[in-house]
Amino acid sequence: MPRIEYESKRFSAQSEALIGHAQIILKEYAQQCFVLTLRQLYYQFVARDLLANTEANYKRIGSLINNARLAGLIDWEAIEDRTRNLRELSHWGSPQEIIDDAVKAYSIDKWKCQPCYIEVWVEKDALLGVIQTACDPLEVSYFSCRGYVSQSEMWRASERFRGQIENGKRITLLHLGDHDPSGIDMTRDIGDRLEMFLRGLPSVEVKRIALNGDQIKRYSPPPNPAKNTDSRFANYMTMYGRESWELDALEPRVLIDLIQGTVSDYMDEGLFKYYMVLEEEQREQLRKAAEGMSARHAGEEEQ
């Protein structure tokens, strides 16, 4: 794992101690195959009573980690920004390489014969990596709402659901968001707009699985003051008080287990496993066909 020194820096004893804690936290998560965002790392400082939960401390950790990375003290691959990514085309070195990749990528739609169709929606981009880790093994589609969902994407979702409903499926949308005035209201908004677009069809179950009050009591994520400038603050305060909580503050493993456990409640696991076996059998057929093509190609080159 790369620790590369780009700049020589001197740190106070207090800063060195914080960097040491960051190294320990990042190593713990790396051993679990997790890469944290800066905000998730910061919440670990708060959860471990190393720092008070304040905006000033968040900025302090951001600046300190930046300098520690430049000084070669923090692994560059141990923290990631999930909101900014390079987009590029795929390339292959030979026809055989793309055939091999196609064999690996071959997949059966294991939800085609399931009674339900499920999607997982998360409020913010920063958690997409965690959501992907939860959803990919179960082959469940997932979506970053980026706050309130745009009308265009909400309509497209309703059209996806319409097609599934017409094929006899029950639709369940699992939503994860912050426990704050807007984050709570986003779940309601999704349900209301889907009902409008799908009027006359069976309703979509919009199930908010995080962040909820029982999870706040169980996991004690650090609170933040709810934004009193939010137009939904008054209603929120009446129901929940003046504190709010961010979804990022939950452990990645907690979110993964929550999503996978909920999805499992809706799926026929025996049917899913049957299609996994069938998929591997068909993938093996493709491998043999690819090997035959490669052998014939090699023979033609020798002639």
- Per DSSP, the residues of 194-210 read HHHHTTTSPPPEEEEEE
Contact predicate 92/98, CB 8 Å: yes
Type and span of the H or E element at 143? strand 141-144
Question: Above 70 in pLDDT, residue 44?
Answer: yes
Which residue reads 């090997």 in tokens? 291
More confident residue, 32 or 64: 64
Of 83, 192, 196, the residue nearest 144 (C-alpha): 83
Count of C-beta atoms within a 10 Å radius of residue 79: 19
* 283 Cβ contact list (under 8 Å, min separation 6): 103, 104, 106
Question: Above 80 in pLDDT, residue 259?
Answer: yes
Binned at pLDDT 50, 70 and 90, residue 83 comes out as confident
pLDDT digits over 199-219, tens only? 999 999 999 999 999 999 999
Which residue reads 């880790």 in tokens? 133
For residues 144-162, one letter each, b for 16 or more C-beta atoms within 10 angstroms of the residue's C-beta and e for the rest, the string is: bbeeebeeeebeebbeebe
Type and span of the H or E element at 130? helix 128-135
Question: Above 80 in pLDDT, residue 297?
Answer: no
The burial class, CB within 10 Å (0-12 / 13-18 / 19+), for 67 is middle
Q: What is the distance between the alpha carbons of residues 208 and 172, in angstroms, rounded to a whole number?
A: 10
Q: What is the distance between the alpha carbons of residues 41 and 22, in angstroms, rounded to a whole number?
A: 7
Q: For position 90, what pLDDT does the model report?
A: 85
Of 140, 221, 233, the residue nearest 185 (C-alpha): 233
Chain centroid to CA 96: 33
Share of the chain above pLDDT 70, in %: 96
Mean pLDDT of the chain: 93
Lowest mean pLDDT among 72-76, 89-93, 201-205: 89-93
* Count of CA atoms in the C-beta half-sphere (13 A) of 30: 14
